[in-house]
Structure 1
Amino acid sequence: MVKKMNRSLVWCLVLSGLAAFTLVWGCADRKVVQKSIVVPTDLRKILVVAFRDMNAQTDERTNVRCPLSGKVFVSGPVDASAPAFLTDRLLTSLREKAERDFKLITPQDLWEIQSGLSDSADNMSELRLMMAVGRAMDADALLVGHLYRYIERVGRNLSVETPASVAFDVHLVRTSDGRVLWTGYFDETQKTLMEDMFDIGRFFAREGKWITAEQMASAGLDNLLETLNIK
């Protein structure tokens, strides 16, 4: 009788420890979607348009629709340094992957190009605007990114008050006809293992730690670019 009670007590302690472990260590609620493509060789000059903060007017969480794909994201605060960080990482990764002419289009560059267009940019859809910018720059295609949420982790590796949360997308648009050849999006808010047991693989890959928004965004962008076969 005593042995049975001892065994029950041991199992209770083990399960309690496991529950506490899962509450402390993080895994992810993660959505990554992209189709794998081979980028046509005739797209030699590609403009990389700086990531745009889609929540620039407010820090409130709201639904925001992507102007190119129509997909709806839950937006949120975006750290001021995030658009430049993601843009730089995207451009660096592309230049490492392929020997093509990648040119960065900054917000200032974009404003100057828009000012020189015959049609008012205010009345143009984003797709038509990107086509006009591409033609004005004699480019074959554009890579366009939108940033919907970039919330930094509040806490440390093993304990957080608020987890990191990031959402963005990237589109490859052909200048000649405006066709969107490739789209990838990343949407993740880190959760505990108890909240999402199906993501146990990523839990161990991250060594059971709460990661930063920068780490999350970098990994997400790398995963997206794996499907963009460009040489």
Structure 2
Amino acid sequence: MRVRFITTILALICCFGVLACARQARNAGEPSTTVLGQIIYVAPFTQPVSTSELITGFIPEQQGRIPRDMLLSLDEKLREVLTADTKRGCAWFARTHGIPDMTRFHTSEQPQALPLWVAYGKKQGAKLLLIPQVLNWNERDGSNAGVARAAHVRVEFFLLNVPEGALAGRSVFEEEQVGLTENLLTVGSFIQRRGVWVTADVLAAEGMRKAVRELGL
């Protein structure tokens, strides 16, 4: 009887330990297996230009604006990256599906966009929505061999759990390419880029691949 009692106590302790670990994982913001198994719905790229249009974060000072045709190009590049780098199912929303109108809160100094993206996801029937955004865009002024101004981009990716109306993850990529003489710490990136000055869309693609890794896409 005493052995059975001790065994029961030990089993209860183990159960409480497992529950505590699971609670800690949820508190850390790790996506659940249910979320991970869902199809990823992908919104078109957008560029917030005022604080109220943000999901979270800030608008860079002297923000560089991206041309519309380049937004379309980034949509296609993200499709290529996701197709190549993830085995999960993806569905892409066209711009004709009606991107949320963020201008209604243009006078606010606080991010206001999350509820609008939640409503957008629900309207489109999405459970898990990837929202890609360009926060800063400065194209290279020069060529592969040399530049007067290097490319500089900041792209952010938000993974939205639509039914819960909450973010399941966020990935931020910002880089301005510099020469080896300016920063020896960039030697790895310099070699990876084959020793050339790259364009802004090449940097943005690096941000896409980083997001795939960080968000577990």
User: TM-score of the superposition, structure 1-length normalised?
Assistant: 0.67
Task: Indicate if the aligned counterparts of 1:36 and 1:227 stay in contact, CA closer than 8 A.
Answer: no
**Paired residue for 1:89?**
77
CA distance in structure 2 between the partners assigned to 1:54 and 1:48 by the alignment: 17
Superposition map of 1:192-211 within 5 A: 192-211=179-198
Provide closer, same or farther for how the CA distance between residues 53 and 173 of structure 1 changes in structure 2, counting only shifts above 3 A.
same
CA distance in structure 2 between the partners assigned to 1:110 and 1:70 by the alignment: 24
**Paired residue for 1:179?**
166
Matched AA of 1:52: T
The answer on 1:73 being equivalent to 2:49 is: no
Larger relative contact order (CA 8 Å, sep ≥ 6): 1
**Paired residue for 1:122?**
104
Which aligned runs of 4 or more in structure 1 are off by greater than 4 angstroms? 35-39, 63-66
Provide closer, same or farther for how the CA distance between residues 156 and 36 of structure 1 changes in structure 2, counting only shifts above 3 A.
farther
Q: How many residues align?
A: 182
Q: CA deviation at 1:37?
A: 5.6
**Paired residue for 2:205?**
218
Provide closer, same or farther for how the CA distance between residues 136 and 149 of structure 1 changes in structure 2, counting only shifts above 3 A.
same
The answer on 1:44 being equivalent to 2:42 is: no
Provide closer, same or farther for how the CA distance between residues 173 and 105 of structure 1 changes in structure 2, counting only shifts above 3 A.
same
Query: Residue deviations 1:53-110, cap 9 Å, x none?
Result: 234xxxxxxx86872222443421313322112222223332341242x332233312
Task: Indicate if the aligned counterparts of 1:140 and 1:174 stay in contact, CA closer than 8 A.
Answer: yes
Task: Indicate if the aligned counterparts of 2:40 and 2:88 stay in contact, CA closer than 8 A.
Answer: no
User: TM-score of the superposition, structure 2-length normalised?
Assistant: 0.70
Q: Can you give the 5+ residue segments of structure 2 that lack an aligned partner in the other structure?
A: 1-27, 106-110
Matched AA of 2:81: S
CA distance in structure 1 between the partners assigned to 2:51 and 2:116 by the alignment: 19
CA distance in structure 1 between the partners assigned to 2:29 and 2:192 by the alignment: 24
CA distance in structure 1 between the partners assigned to 2:70 and 2:130 by the alignment: 17
Provide closer, same or farther for how the CA distance between residues 66 and 136 of structure 1 changes in structure 2, counting only shifts above 3 A.
closer
RMSD: 3.1
Percent identity reads 22
Provide closer, same or farther for how the CA distance between residues 142 and 155 of structure 1 changes in structure 2, counting only shifts above 3 A.
same
The answer on 1:141 being equivalent to 2:132 is: no
Range with greater deviation from structure 2 (178-187 or 149-158): 149-158
Provide closer, same or farther for how the CA distance between residues 161 and 190 of structure 1 changes in structure 2, counting only shifts above 3 A.
same
Provide closer, same or farther for how the CA distance between residues 41 and 54 of structure 1 changes in structure 2, counting only shifts above 3 A.
same
Q: Can you give the 5+ residue segments of structure 1 that lack an aligned partner in the other structure?
A: 1-34, 56-62
CA distance in structure 2 between the partners assigned to 1:164 and 1:195 by the alignment: 15
SS in 2 for 1:70: coil
Query: Residue deviations 1:183-212, cap 9 Å, x none?
Result: 011111112222222222222322321111
Q: CA deviation at 1:216?
A: 1.6
CA distance in structure 1 between the partners assigned to 2:70 and 2:128 by the alignment: 24
